[in-house]
Structure 1
Amino acid sequence: MPIIGDLTAKADWIDPDETPRPIVVFGAMMDEVGDIELDLHTHRKGQIILVQRGALSCEVEGGLWVVPPRSAIWIPGGALHSIKASGALEGYNAFIDPRVGAELPATCCALSVTPLLRELLTRAAHLPYLYEEGGPNSRLVSVLLDEVAAAQVEDLHLPMPSDPRLRRIVDEMMANPAERGSLGGWAKRAGMSERTLMRLIDRETGMSFGRWRQQLGVVLAVKWLAAGASIQSVAADLGYESTPSFVTMFRKALGASPGRYMAERHPGGV
């Protein structure tokens, strides 16, 4: 039964790229052991990570994704990525051979998880790595593949610029998101004009400076809420003058208030 208790323990790890099955699934359960970080790495097979409890962030070339409970991230084979998580984490990993996953997205994306997909991952994680081919277990993973392909994409992505000047701004914003400096102030700190900053951020992220900063707030808010922070503390940590103004922004971005959004991602939620 491939359930792994520590993602950082090499003794528990079986390389899915070397496992001669088109789809390999395992579960991961970790208690609150502090921060967990998997450095930049790649897999030949594509990877879907479903989070059941806790939250993780994943940086893939060109972007940062946050995965809250009952959501998942798809990472195509060959994509260089790193993973970070804090505290307790429970979830499932499925590695899918490109030869059977041709219909899956060509780029990294966050996915909404249906109850069927969640149950299929749970069942598949209890199969032997070398499950028999051509029988019921093969049909199970085939249905799993269909559900991954049909999953709806969620907007939990933050484009990450590669320009060194922009990355310095990004690092400062992420370290102190409550600092609501003006466009001119950030441009001056980066040693460029406002026009240059606007042009660079649009070219490298496809967003305006203001839109990118708002998306940063959405991504951080989801991460902190999933870790158990209160709506009030998240609003304050993001520099909002009032909780209602933060709630309004969150609702416009994700279609639900923070409380409802998180309740829908926990057992017994509305």
Structure 2
Amino acid sequence: MLPSSLAAGVGDPPPIPAARLRPTDAPVRPLLLWVRTGTARVRLDGGPELRLEAGEGAWIPADGRAERAIVTEPGTVAFPLWSHARLGAPGPSELTRFDVPGAWQDWLIQLFNLQVTPFNGHGYSHEAIEELLRRPGTRPPESAEAGRDPGPAGFTSPTMPYAPGARAVADELMRDPALDLTVEQWAVRVLSSARTLRRDFLADTGLTFEQWRLLCRLGAAVELLAADYDVDQVAARVGFASRNGLTRAFKGRFGVTPHEFGRELSARPGGRGLTQRAAAARQTDDLIRMVRRTDTPAAPEMLPAASTPSHTNDIHVLSWMYRGSGYLDIGDRRYERERGVATWIPAEREHVTGLRENSVSLPLGNASPGDLRLTEPLQVRFSPAWDDYLMSCSISARSGLRPDDHDPRHVLDLFAEQVAAQRALSVPMPTSPRARAVAMECLRRIGEPGGTYTIDVGAEIHRAFRDETGMTLGRWRYAARMRVARDLLAGGAPPSAVARRTGYAHLPTFSAAFSRFHGLSPRDYQQRESERNQ
């Protein structure tokens, strides 16, 4: 188990703000929008408005000429699921409403997770999704309504760029290689310039933007051909205007045509198989049929287990267990993850994240090493009352459906106390295992009124603190509380809130303790830090 520095999510969550999907944040491809709670409104090119309530979904067709207007009202959690209509059966050509059975809802939440993270859920297959797609009651809006195969010649994916803007572009193209935006259009989306994007792609990967995108598309083509899509479907899916264009590029890179590669793959022992990308393509491809079936399906009996490949991130990633349990493996250590637990996964640490059967997780956001100093996982437990709010955080972080004033760094506010407690580890720590365990327990209970002083320890623990930290246990606890208080004040928390968060029942008592330790009152310290940061 990971130690939880301080409790979180025990009170009421913040209100869920209204959100909208802007045209610049919405790739021109079909979208399935499912409303879990609240109300959403959808309109295409000024046409009739489709109003969706909880438990309803909408098929929104792809049309580069039509402007999509998608707005959610305050308190709404709506999941956007991008679909690839050019594979398999074509989707409806008009905005269409459908009903989502309650038993399928957690399955759709996990599908969103699989689309926006490196998780590979093998059970999310063609057959499983096809059941969901046999849904009755589809109707257009009325006029009155407002295991990766490296492929030929050992092909591997192109190197990912490190610069933030270029990395954001690369991540989106890896999810959907068919996106056909110019460098100038990409620059607008990631708040950069075309010149900077071109420079960063070349500096970080050794490839021009166009060369990188071509390799990205060919890598996706390899995976889809291995999943038994025909050449015409693959060409459309990965962004080639024609079958001939894909064939020329494929043969130029690999020395064989796509058709020859598919035939060769079929002859291999074990035949074809679904990679993560191909499985996701099957899933989103089959979602199109949801609005075309007439019989009511049974929900899957269980959600399959899922895991990520071993990988590292150049940023800290925050992952939350909504349902069931999972684990985080770093080196030879396994950290268990239980329902309601959110975990910061530190940057630059190779790791594997896994989910057990009937478990669902969601990414809540990222933090740069400059915003959060973290070398080991940091964990917090949220109560079920926070579920909808945390889902809205995930949707805002990993899709274009977000509030107008969305700040990606707001997830750090949810962990203000935990981050402060983590930084309190800069106070000299005892080295002996038993004394260190007492120190960690003090940090966990630092927000309880008088809680850090009710830990009963023996004489050997007191002696270890004196010998190993140069402080008595009481003085060490005082220093740790003051370190947490200092970070919270520097982050803008009012002194009265800091007093409560560090276990002081009364503000005057806290102010006197802070002033003795730092030589400044809490307000004077906060003002000084604010002036330094201006």
TM-score for both structures, normalised by structure 1:
0.42
In our comparison, the structure showing a higher alpha carbon Rg is: 2
Larger fraction in strand: 1
State the TM-score, normalized to the length of structure 2.
0.23
